[in-house]
Amino acid sequence: MNNDRTYPSRPWAGVGVVVWKGDHVLLIQRGKEPMRGSWSIPGGGHDLGETAREAAVREVMEETSISIDLGPIIDVIDTIRRDDDDRIRTHYTLVDFAATWVAGEPVAGDDAMSAEFVPFEEALTRLTWSETARVIRESRVLLGLE
């Protein structure tokens, strides 16, 4: 099996978490590819032997030092990117969760360049991927925050 994430032989599983503290959402600035330097929700790879929920809690802690109360799944998103020859360059299956803040102040760690709670409307302006904005909006509905 090809273990490289570029031109993979299978999709790679990952998680993302929309963390709310009042009307602020937790964003990280990505420190690694893909999309290095862009703003997103915390998340990352799903490790062998851990549940998706465990991966979500771990990734938030590793990237931001925040403790959370993990809520429901928002959506499962496949991101498939092809090269100029129409070959699959990357394929990630992402399970996105909603969560609420429990404790801690955001501190960038692991593969994040920056981490901070941002007002909802401002958070949407920082994002480069429309799917991230969509799951943030949907998380507000799921958690009854609107």
Residue 77 lies inside a defined structural domain of this protein: yes
What CA–CA distance (Å, rounded) separates 134 from 117? Answer: 18
- pLDDT of 109: 87
**Pairing status of strand 88-103 against strand 24-30:** unpaired
- Which domain range does residue 59 map to? 12-142
- pLDDT of 110: 75
- pLDDT of 3: 62
Residue 40 lies inside a defined structural domain of this protein: yes
Phi-psi region of 26 (alpha: psi -120 to 50; beta: other; left: phi over 0): beta
Residue 102 lies inside a defined structural domain of this protein: yes
- pLDDT of 1: 47
Residue 39 lies inside a defined structural domain of this protein: yes
Residue 7 lies inside a defined structural domain of this protein: no
Residue 122 lies inside a defined structural domain of this protein: yes
Residue 4 lies inside a defined structural domain of this protein: no
What CA–CA distance (Å, rounded) separates 17 from 53? Answer: 10
- Rounded average pLDDT per 10-residue block, the chain, 146 residues: 78 96 96 86 94 97 97 96 95 97 94 94 94 96 90
Q: Give every CB contact of residue 7 below 8 A, 6+ residues apart in sequence.
A: 87, 88, 89
**Tally of domains in the chain:** 1
